């Protein structure tokens, strides 16, 4: 029987490890010893897997010792693929994971990548690392697959088993084996792509398309603000047409939508092509935090509210609602811009881990809310924010800006 090894036990890797661990021998590997210790004790802080689901994975063992991977025959690499400060792909986690796997690689093994990359990255970057570390020959001694992750953090409806899976392999036989492996856990079925590059490209354009669509409505919001009409009312009216795509304006962060387009543009520029639409969309979305902050400050000035030393509450720091994921949160841009005006900014988020936020962004999350505030910005639409004591948090002059179009229009000052 094959043994599956999941390398990286985050939002993507852990659900995979748990599903495989229900039916076949599975090793979950992560370099974070604290993470391994927590999982062994049934603690799962990404909120993607329940304690009950963890307990059902009876064939799953957790480890931070790379020697334990020597038992694995089917490796699945699910490490993050971020961008650096210059918006260039940061492949260091991917290369490091490939070296770790290469050290345990044996003849006949298959290495499958799920991390988002640009088309060609598996064969151009990862395979040479695997060959160099293992001393084995690609497509003779070992083989590769690519099956892009489609995890949607915080989504309790679209989960791993019921999301259709793209699969691919470096040879026809490998593609069949990779496809059969995933069919063990994917109830929604699979789509076998004809090559690794096609599978890689499919993943990167899924999020690039969404990024561009959101950039379009963000630009509409900038225009409609100047016209003096409500963007959400315009979108509601337009949505009465059967084929209108009802995207909403907002902050675009996270580990996928705000990052993946840069992988595609990096590859395109390396081939001598300058992408216009994709990069234009990225510029619009990357600047929305600053725009929102400036709009809030202008509204405060009109109300003759104190700006320097004024008290502003930002509700939500995670990159999306009802999940603890703070990676690449664009709310931070909003907070930094508000702070640059001299305002005293409290940040409250019941889902984010305070220690992680402090380590990642240097921000101390508020444990209790001071009241009232001069301005309140709802940046993330956590369900808990429906039940806040608005009568205590705000006065008649308080600016309440709703980034997400989440609150009842009767209680807000403005929305994006």
Is 109 in contact with 98 (CB distance < 8 Å)? Answer: no
Please, what is the angle between helix 196-227 and helix 277-286, to 10°?
50
Strands 143-146 and 375-378: unpaired
Q: What angle do CA 258, 159, 217 make, to 5 degrees?
A: 35
Angstrom distance (rounded) from CA 27 to CA 9? 10
Question: Which DSSP letter does residue 68 get?
Answer: G
Residue closest to 17 by CA, chosen among 176, 185, 235: 185
Helix (H, G, I), strand (E, B) or coil at 152: coil
Angle in degrees, CA 329, 33, 8, rounded to 5: 55
Helix (H) or strand (E) holding 201: helix 196-227
| Crossing angle for the helix pair 288-302 and 277-286, to the nearest 10 degrees | 40
- Measured CA to CA, the distance from residue 281 to residue 289 in angstroms comes to 14
The tokens describing 163, both together, are 């999301």
Angle at 232 between CA 226 and CA 236, to 5 degrees: 130
Q: Tell me how far apart the alpha carbons of residues 126 and 196 are, in angstroms, rounded to a whole number.
A: 12
* d(C-alpha 335, C-alpha 333), whole Å: 5
Q: Are 323 and 47 in contact (CB under 8 A)?
A: yes
Q: Tens-of-pLDDT digits for all 416 residues of the chain? A: 799 999 999 999 999 999 999 999 999 999 999 999 999 999 888 888 988 899 999 999 999 999 999 999 999 999 999 999 999 999 999 999 999 999 999 999 999 999 999 999 999 999 999 999 999 999 999 999 999 999 888 778 888 999 999 999 999 999 999 999 999 999 999 999 999 999 999 999 999 999 999 999 999 999 999 999 999 999 999 999 999 998 999 999 888 888 999 999 999 999 999 999 999 999 999 999 999 999 999 999 999 999 999 999 999 999 999 999 999 999 999 999 999 999 999 999 999 999 999 999 999 999 989 889 999 999 999 999 998 999 899 999 999 999 999 999 999 999 99
Catalytic residues, by residue number, are 256
SS3 content of the chain, % helix, strand, coil (to 5): 40, 15, 45
Structure tokens belonging to residue 357 = 């936020």
The model carries a pTM of 0.93
Q: Is 157 exposed, middle or buried (0-12, 13-18, 19+ CB in 10 A)?
A: exposed
């Amino acid at each position: 029987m094959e043994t599956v090894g999941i390398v990286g036990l985050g939002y993507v890797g852990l659900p995979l490890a748990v599903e495989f661990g229900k039916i076949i021998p599975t090793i979950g590997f992560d370099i974070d010893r604290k993470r391994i210790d927590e999982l062994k004790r049934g603690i799962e802080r990404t909120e993607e897997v329940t304690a009950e689901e963890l307990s059902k994975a009876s064939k799953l063992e957790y480890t931070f010792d790379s020697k334990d991977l020597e038992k694995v025959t089917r490796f699945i690499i699910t490490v993050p693929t971020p961008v650096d400060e210059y918006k260039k792909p940061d492949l260091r986690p991917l290369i490091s994971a490939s070296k770790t796997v290469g050290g345990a690689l044996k003849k006949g093994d298959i290495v499958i990548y799920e991390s988002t990359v640009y088309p060609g990255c598996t064969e151009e970057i990862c395979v040479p690392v695997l060959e160099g570390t293992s001393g084995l020959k690609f497509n003779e001694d070992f083989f590769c697959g690519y099956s892009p992750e489609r995890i949607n953090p915080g989504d309790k409806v679209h989960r791993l088993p019921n999301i259709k899976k793209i699969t691919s392999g470096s040879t026809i036989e490998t593609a069949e084996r990779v496809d059969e492996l995933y069919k063990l856990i994917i109830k929604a079925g699979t789509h076998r792509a004809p090559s690794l590059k096609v599978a890689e490209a499919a993943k990167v354009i899924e999020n690039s398309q969404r990024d561009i669509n959101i950039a379009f409505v963000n630009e509409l919001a900038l225009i409609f603000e100047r016209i003096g009409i409500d963007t959400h009312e315009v979108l509601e009216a337009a949505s009465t047409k059967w084929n209108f795509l009802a995207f909403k304006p907002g902050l675009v962060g996270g580990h996928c939508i705000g990052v993946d387009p840069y992988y595609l543009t990096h590859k395109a520029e390396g081939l001598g092509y300058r992408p216009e639409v994709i990069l234009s969309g990225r510029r619009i979305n990357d600047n929305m935090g600053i725009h929102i902050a400036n709009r809030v400050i202008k509204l405060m000035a009109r109300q003759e509210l104190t700006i320097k030393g004024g008290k502003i509450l930002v509700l939500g720091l995670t990159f999306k609602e009802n999940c603890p994921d703070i990676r690449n949160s664009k709310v931070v841009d909003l907070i930094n811009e508000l702070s640059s005006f001299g305002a005293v900014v409290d940040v409250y988020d019941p889902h984010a881990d305070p220690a992680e936020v402090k380590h990642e962004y240097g921000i101390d999350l508020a444990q209790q809310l001071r009241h009232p505030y001069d301005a309140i910005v709802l940046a993330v639409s956590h369900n808990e924010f429906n039940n806040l004591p608005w009568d205590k948090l705000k006065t008649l002059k308080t600016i309440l800006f709703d980034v997400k179009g989440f609150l009842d229009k009767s209680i807000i000052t403005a929305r994006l």
